Amino acid sequence: MLLEPTVSLIHKFNKSWKHAKDLWGEIHPTTTLLRDRKTDLQLSILLHHPNSLECIIETDGSEDIVAISLTKSFKYQGVTYNDAAHIPLRLAQPFLNHEQQGNTYGNY
């Protein structure tokens, strides 16, 4: 799995998920499908490209989230990317190293 096209897909699914959520609500089957596919792609890059990522644990309202930043931004199909969006900590935690699980950040 290549990092650049996967990050591009993450952003496309993230945008589509937010649009579907606005149109049909959070529990609509299309909305959950888009969100889950984005999450699958994010977990995949956490697993396959740990040296290219920096994860920052933040709080978003009632839930801790992980901001997935790229250690080096890149341009893919004319778009510059420097992150792979946010993912709930509860989903990302098995893929994070001990230091990141302690609310710090850095490379894997």
* pTM (2 d.p.): 0.88
CA dihedral 73, 1, 48, 78 (to 10 degrees): 10
The pLDDT profile of the chain, 108 residues, written as one tens digit per residue, is 899 999 999 999 999 999 999 999 999 999 999 999 999 999 999 999 999 999 999 998 889 999 999 999 999 999 999 999 999 999 999 988 655 454 444 443
Sequence spans of domains, the chain: 3-101
Question: What pLDDT, on a 0 to 100 scale, did the predictor assign at position 108?
Answer: 39
The DSSP output letter for 103 is T
pLDDT of residue 1: 87
pLDDT-above-90 percentage for the chain: 81
Q: pLDDT at position 98, please?
A: 55
Contacts of 24 (CB under 8 A, 6+ apart): 30, 31
